[in-house]
Structure 1
């Protein structure tokens, strides 16, 4: 089993421009690539868990969300950094697209994406934590039985460094 750092995407890894999904719009949060490289160097998995209600709202498709994630991964290589897995939840209870209209167990603050990652990747829950930019992220971590930390900026690497040292 390996420990992991779970990361929300928009507002933690990349600037949240309002449903970001176009690869040309990708702008990293200050220190995000360096923070992910530090997670990798620590021997922990870096796992993204992200609500993507823009899919449910019909603003973009799952393919665009995956392409955006792939672009993040490609750009991280410049810092010798990588995300080990991406989990996304396209569901929303008030979706405009019927097939995504549900209160899904993966939608944070529920812990579904975290729980799936723990099973899929053989993650050591007791030595893992989550960093998000909303209370729903922290609540999802707590529901999964791990600490959650609220990132408010400005640099993700400065925020992550003491968390990696203390866990």
Structure 2
């Protein structure tokens, strides 16, 4: 049986690719999650585009600047290699924008920049809004639970993995959508 192969995998940033430091604007505090480098490398070796979709409401809250967010993102690129696309929402939860996860805007924007259909993409994240945004955009999703993940989010996730590398391996073993 033929398995499904993603053309693009989009990652949540905080709590998924890097350790979550709330409202972090300091690149020196960026620490890659275990297996993040191996997971990204595995995808690149398969010619799968990689990107990041991240809510950064600290900008709207006045806790950090967009420049701070960009410096942290550059540090992620230094640690894991340059991402093919970055999509960042700087709005707050009360702004009701179309880009803030769980809305699909960040994912739709990232995929458009890469010229990839949602059916050919997956999103890996650590909370339910990551999974909901993926579903709303028409992508597959894998949840990597952390202490911040609610039990209902774990229960309702379409796929679960313990690490980023496990999530990538899981994506490569999925059957095609019929």
Name the TM tier (shorter chain). 0.7 to 0.9
CA deviation vs aligned residue, 1:63-105 (integer Å, no higher than 9, x gap): 01011111111122xxxx43111110000144xxxxxxx2110
Distance, in Å, in 2 between the alignment partners of 1:113 and 1:57 is 19
Normalised by the size of structure 1, how large is the TM-score? 0.86
> Which residue of the partner structure matches residue 89 of structure 2?
89
> Which residue of the partner structure matches residue 157 of structure 1?
165
**Which blocks of at least 5 consecutive residues in structure 1 are unaligned?**
95-101
Distance, in Å, in 2 between the alignment partners of 1:151 and 1:85 is 21
Aligned residues: CA RMSD: 1.6
How many residue pairs match? The answer is 155
CA contact (8 A) 2:85 2:113 kept: no
Normalised by the size of structure 2, how large is the TM-score? 0.81
Higher mean alpha-carbon deviation, 154-163 vs 122-131, is at 154-163
> Which residue of the partner structure matches residue 117 of structure 2?
124
| Equivalent position to 2:42, from 38, 47, 50 | 38
Task: Describe how 1:1-167 pairs up with structure 2 within 5 A.
Answer: 3-76=7-80, 81-94=81-94, 102-152=95-145, 154-166=162-174
Distance, in Å, in 2 between the alignment partners of 1:36 and 1:121 is 17
Distance, in Å, in 2 between the alignment partners of 1:24 and 1:118 is 30
CA contact (8 A) 1:36 1:83 kept: no
**Which blocks of at least 5 consecutive residues in structure 2 are unaligned?**
1-5, 147-161
CA contact (8 A) 2:119 2:140 kept: no
